[in-house]
Structure 1
Amino acid sequence: MIIFPAIDIRGGKAVRLYKGDFSQETVFGEPEEMAAKWESLGGQYLHLVDLDGARAGKSMNLDVVKKIIARVNIPVELGGGIRTMENIDEVLAAGVQRVILGSVAAKNPALVQTACAKYGERVVVGIDAKDGIVAVDGWEVSGNVEAGVLAQKMAKVGVKTIIYTDISRDGTLKGVNVEATAKLARESGIKVVASGGVKSIEDIKALLPYEEDGIEGVIVGKSIYTGSLDLSVAIKVASGAEG
């Protein structure tokens, strides 16, 4: 199972939000420094979120993302406001390995289909939900669609991987919603990366039995910034090297 250290970017800095609330922000410093740190601890893949982009509806911190790519030797994926084919082309041309489409997946599945036809597995869909209902536009609007229904629709248009975030747990350190994530993987039949609420090594261990259901990995954010989770230990446990 892959552990994805997260770097949320706002105003060119690495930050964390509590439950996606822009008014509850903690700044952690320069994004490229955080990227180098997570790589040095064994990080295999970085999960980047352009928070300004999520609100603006287009990438706003691509210059920062390019600095991160230049600094590390591991792949990065990027999400946050990417809603047009032009923006997808721009992001992938910048050296990003996987582009994460969020709001646009619920609103414009045809664009997702076009992107998948062009870029294959480099296109990932982020499904952010609260109580099983999809939220869009920086989590400020309800999409009025069930996460499972959207996941199945995405599978039909060619998506191979979904990142599932439980908003009610994001940035809370209350533990991952294992059941909902595993259910989504089973229902959609495609790979799912768990996100939101990881607190400790116990959360990583709780996800491991569900790898066979299709859970490909887990995104870790606040826990590695506050120290409640040791990234290097998490990576060893996820790879089966340490129980």
Structure 2
Amino acid sequence: MQLFPTIELQNGKPVSLHRGRLDEPLVWNVDPVEKAREFAHAGAEWIHVTDFDAITGGAPQDELLTEIIRAAGVPVQVGGGVRSRERIEALIDLGVGRVVISTAALTNPDLVKEAAKYHPDQIVLAMDVFEGQVMSEGWRTKSAYEPADFLSWFDADPLAAVIITDIDSDISDADASLALVTDLAAQSRHLVIARGLSRSMNELSALKYVPGVHGAVIGRALFDKSVDLEEALALAAEPVGETAEFI
């Protein structure tokens, strides 16, 4: 399993959100560029960055993204406010390894399909789920689509991966969220990266044994030191042993 240590940016600062509330960020008093360098030094092979300024319609933090890419020295996966082909091309021109598309995949699925066609294995679909429905605009708007149906739209497209976030896991039952991710990973034709189930080493251990889950996005747990990245990377790298069959 591959880990994607994450830096979420708002106004140039790393932040974490409570239940997706952009107006109530927890700001971490660290340099995001140094943090990216620290993640890479610990052994991370990818870094995930979300630009919250771009999500809310503000100016993208491209200058800071460029600094992070240069400092990290490992591929960087970037999402946040990606709504057009021009924005996708601009991010790739910056040196972004993978571009993450979320809300625009609901409103304009052809954008994802065309981008994947021209940039195979560089486009990542992100899907947020709450109470069994796909969400848009961050965590603010519930769509009419069920997760499995939404994923099926892109079965034939050469996506790099699909990021699945069960918003319920941020609110209540992590076990139910693990069950949802397990079910969707079994149905997905793409590699699945789980988000929201990496708050402890125990959660990472459970996630590691879910068939079809290729990776995990981990952010806040690294900043509040609930999880040590080097230990988490070592756990993720361990081969999965045989599991007992249930009779």
TM-score above 0.5? yes
Which of 237, 240, 244 is equivalent to 1:239? 237
The 1:12/1:174 distance shift into structure 2, 3 A limit, reads farther
Q: Find the residue that maps to 1:125 and give its secondary structure.
A: strand
Cross-structure match for 2:102: 102
C-alpha deviations, 1:197-240, integer Å up to 9, x for none?
A: 42211111101222xx3111001111111111111111001100
How far did residue 242 of structure 1 move?
A: 10
Give the partner amino acid of 2:100: I
The 1:61/1:180 distance shift into structure 2, 3 A limit, reads same
C-alpha deviations, 1:178-203, integer Å up to 9, x for none?
A: 21112111112221000014221111
The 1:173/1:7 distance shift into structure 2, 3 A limit, reads farther
89-98 or 136-145: which moved more? 136-145
Ranges in structure 1 where 5+ consecutive residues have no aligned partner: none
Q: 2:31 & 2:132 partners in 1: Cα distance?
A: 34
The equivalences for 1:6-17 within 5 A come to 6-17=6-17
Q: 2:108 & 2:65 partners in 1: Cα distance?
A: 26
Are 2:55 and 1:54 aligned? yes
Q: 1:78 & 1:242 partners in 2: Cα distance?
A: 29
Higher strand fraction: Structure 1 or Structure 2? 1
Give the partner amino acid of 1:85: R
The 1:153/1:105 distance shift into structure 2, 3 A limit, reads same
How far did residue 21 of structure 1 move?
A: 0.8
90-99 or 148-157: which moved more? 148-157
Cross-structure match for 1:153: 153
Q: Looking at CA atoms only, which structure, 1 or 2, has the larger radius of gyration?
A: 2
Cross-structure match for 1:22: 22
Give the partner amino acid of 1:185: A
Cross-structure match for 1:218: 216
Whether the 8 Å CA contact 1:199–1:229 is kept in 2: the answer is yes
Aligned residues: percent identity?
28
Cross-structure match for 1:36: 37
The 1:167/1:14 distance shift into structure 2, 3 A limit, reads same
The equivalences for 1:167-186 within 5 A come to 167-170=167-170, 175=174, 177-186=177-186
C-alpha deviations, 1:15-51, integer Å up to 9, x for none?
A: 1111111233111132112111211222221010001
Cross-structure match for 1:205: 205
Q: Find the residue that maps to 1:156 and give its secondary structure.
A: coil
C-alpha deviations, 1:102-135, integer Å up to 9, x for none?
A: 0011111111111011000100100011122111
Give the partner amino acid of 1:101: I
Give structure 1 regions of 4+ aligned residues with deviation exceeding 6 angstroms. none
- Report the TM-score when normalising by structure 2: 0.91
Q: 2:139 & 2:111 partners in 1: Cα distance?
A: 20
Q: 2:40 & 2:161 partners in 1: Cα distance?
A: 23
Whether the 8 Å CA contact 2:209–2:240 is kept in 1: the answer is no
Q: 2:240 & 2:224 partners in 1: Cα distance?
A: 22
Q: 1:24 & 1:175 partners in 2: Cα distance?
A: 23
Ranges in structure 2 where 5+ consecutive residues have no aligned partner: 242-247
Cross-structure match for 1:3: 3
The 1:112/1:242 distance shift into structure 2, 3 A limit, reads closer
The 1:41/1:241 distance shift into structure 2, 3 A limit, reads farther
The equivalences for 1:64-103 within 5 A come to 64-103=64-103
80-89 or 154-163: which moved more? 154-163
